[in-house]
Chains A and B, each alone.
Chain A
């Protein structure tokens, strides 16, 4: 007798129990096409989304139907952004997302200054045929400058306006500055699209921007991220912990297989190599290429990239993090620990490094030393599931869970 697949048996078991569940009374979300349309259009707020999830938990009919619709692409649920609801904000801001880093503002500050300069220049330009559009642009730029106050900003709308201005014709000096704005708004729009998993849109934006200004390294990087299905500008922001590479909290990875290298990986490889040649000191490409090499099990190559990143910025937390991951993958746990500790020192806010350090120490059998890192992660992580996992793991091994401190 051949053993049946696990998924088949689990499916049978869960379906069998599902049939025992009483079907809740209407309304059924799966029958409300307007609700489904709102979901696919990013027009659901957290309360409506939670109502749907609660209903799904109790309704086998809606679960089955929604699964069918999602699988076939009829419904493409969009991210529910709690901060965007009702606040007047029209787009979820990636800068507010978990993966956002404070230093990203350093990149924002420059273009904002350019935007302000354009405003001043535009207003000192007498009787231009575009003055009314410029006044509208001013409003958008002011909103942009107020982004951190939660004011609405629509980068793609702004991009379109700047494009129109350029098309109408601007004096050379302003034209140059406006093209700077094209890159800035395009970059912001692409970040948003990436955060919302609209990967095709990132490429579209890049094409629009490069048509105006030529190559843009920051957009090229986002396109590569989109091709990889990542939603942040730096891959290690979302895949910096060992859990992302198949390891458990005990530092083991049973069943971890060698990656498959297909045409997509080859294409990405070429893309990164070209970008590295063209922009040799751009940290985004160096770090992301390093992380990419980790995913294709080229640990030596990954280590070289992260070392190159340290040459550009010797205190770069993500470079240390990447070096730690590369060392861990070749089972050099002591070296990995050193890099993770350096990453903790370089960026005390990031939780991937202390989590990795704790796992590393577990793997080295130094549970007592791991305790401090576990506590840090446990107390600071917003991820309730991770906290539960840490608690459960500690309890199972008869140790005091961080929560009981």
Chain B
């Protein structure tokens, strides 16, 4: 635990009574909650929620903190609030896929067994326990802090080795990350944003990898920087590359306007695909992952998106105005010297049509 500060932060304290605060915690969910099994009338539902959440807080806090906490302690309400945030997310997810009311206690039972209701459903642990642990660390509980360190530091170190993001030992970076997680230097800390939608380990995996990527980039230049080419087109009147110098600044601006008008005409998938492939330089497989599409369909989707873009460029209202029309025609003419427009249109022709014989 070397290098991890553990100064104690005061828990958030409310001036209202525990009962009022408890009722307020659930008030905004009353509309949908009251329609679930065992939740009507609302007063009875509140009792059920209270008993359930208090029981779980007591259970998990006992395991994590090693001591009982009482409902009249301010920290207890924070645990309860975090627990409800997590429980309600999964309850609503279950509802979204169900045809009728859903028993919240069954949802909790499933979630505590590490099974969720969205996607593949593997939460990666008991998320109720995880949100309590996260809150306890934010509350500067020493035992919870030690538990988080002991349980997750080896995992984080393994992850770092696997991703080859850093060659140095975890001892070099773990305290800095832990500081950000717990918010010692800069409250409230990343753990405050963890809400139990997935297991703490899944969440921490992403946080660790991103932290190391940013840190590596800052210290060792590992971040993929923007291509120096990207600065080439800052707009008309700015420094132009030799290629752009062959196109008038006015035409360039018209073309950019046309493109800006045409791009929203693409579907979200098509627009994102073109941007990821051409502007961000992702591979087809990576773009397919982002879009949730089969990698084998990416070429075809790209061709369709470019075809659509070409249609939009040619048929947009803006193209009907004289200067824009002339500019587009000029570019579409594919004059060899206009490599800027030619590049786009060659791409459109080659990829979308592919109708030249071998």
In contact, A68 and B301 (Cβ under 8 angstroms): no
User: Which of A52-60, A139-147, A283-291, A365-373 is the contact stretch?
Assistant: A52-60
0/1 interface trace, chain B 227-238, chain A, CB 8 Å (1 if under): 101101111000
A392 touches B355 (CB 8 A): no
A37 touches B202 (CB 8 A): yes
A3 at the interface (CB under 8 A from B): yes
What residues on B are CB-neighbors of A66 within 8 Å?
290
Please tell me if the beta carbons of B96 and A86 are within 8 angstroms of each other in the complex.
yes
Instruction: Judge whether B353 and A90 touch: CB under 8 Å.
Output: no
| Chain A residues with CB below 8 A from B116, complex form | 43
Query: Do B275 and A18 touch (CB < 8 A)?
Result: yes
Q: Cβ of A25 < 8 Å from any Cβ of B? A: no
Inside 8 A of A224's CB, which chain B residues have their CB?
A: none
A120 beta carbon closer than 8 Å to chain B: no
| Chain A residues in 8 Å Cβ range of B97 | 45, 85-87
Is A274's CB within 8 Å of the partner chain B? no
Interface segment, B170-178, B276-284, B320-328?
Answer: B276-284
Does A12 lie within 8 Å of B119, measured CB to CB? no
Across-interface contacts of A223 in B (CB, < 8 A): none
B70 at the interface (CB under 8 A from A): no
Q: A13-B233, A13-B344, A254-B358 are in contact. Are A41 and B124 (CB under 8 A)?
A: yes
Instruction: Answer yes or no: B243 CB below 8 A from chain A CBs.
Output: yes
- Complex Cα distance, B346 from A13, in Å, reads 14
Contact A43 B163 (CB under 8 A): no
Can you name 17 A-B residue pairings with CB atoms under 8 Å? A6-B343, A11-B230, A14-B274, A16-B256, A34-B193, A34-B198, A34-B206, A35-B197, A36-B210, A43-B122, A85-B97, A86-B94, A244-B296, A253-B354, A383-B297, A385-B301, A396-B353
A-side residues, CB < 8 A to B, are 1, 3-18, 20-21, 32-38, 40-45, 47-50, 53-54, 56-57, 60, 63-64, 66-81, 84-92, 98, 196-197, 229, 231, 238-239, 243-244, 248, 250, 252-256, 383, 385-386, 388-389, 392, 396
- Interface residues, chain B, CB within 8 Å of chain A? 93-94, 96-98, 115-124, 163, 165, 190, 193-195, 197-199, 202-203, 205-207, 209-210, 213, 223-224, 226-227, 229-230, 232-235, 241-243, 256, 259-260, 263, 266, 268-269, 271-272, 274-276, 278-282, 286, 289-292, 294-297, 299-301, 303-304, 307-308, 339-340, 343-344, 346-347, 350, 353-358
Closest 9 CB pairs of A and B: A86-B97, A67-B280, A42-B120, A9-B343, A248-B354, A14-B279, A16-B233, A57-B268, A37-B206
Beyond the given pairs A34-B197, A45-B96, 9 more chain A to chain B contacts, judged by CB atoms under 8 angstroms and listed by A's residue number, are A15-B230, A37-B198, A40-B202, A41-B198, A70-B289, A71-B224, A74-B206, A80-B119, A254-B355
